[in-house]
Amino acid sequence: MVQESSLTEDLASPAEQDSKTVCGLTKVRNQMTEDEAAALDRAIDMIREDEGSGRSKVYSARWLTGVLRKHKYDISESTVSRHVAKRCRCD
């Protein structure tokens, strides 16, 4: 039987909790073929390199989320935004 930790224990060691899981975009990436995963990586790089702001951005987390949802991947724009900004569990 697995012993569950207490709230106090979990709050004392957040890094240990985070290291056991990956972010949502990485989970989606892991479901893709090698070619699709490479294309996703390129798209993320394009978003990071796009110097526009607001509506002048060509590549954005909103755009990528729309593409992924079109292809039946269940993911939120905030999850994509966090990953692109390197503020997710991956980094």
Single pTM value for the model: 0.74
What integer pLDDT is reported at residue 17 of this predicted model? Answer: 47
Higher pLDDT pick, 33 / 11: 33
In the chain, the percentage of residues whose pLDDT exceeds 90 is 64
Examine the pLDDT at 60 and tell me if it is beyond 90. yes
3-state SS track over 1-69: CCCCCCHHHHHHCHHHHHCCCCCHHHHHHHCCCHHHHHHHHHHHHHHHHCCCCHHHCCCCHHHHHHHHH
Examine the pLDDT at 62 and tell me if it is beyond 90. yes
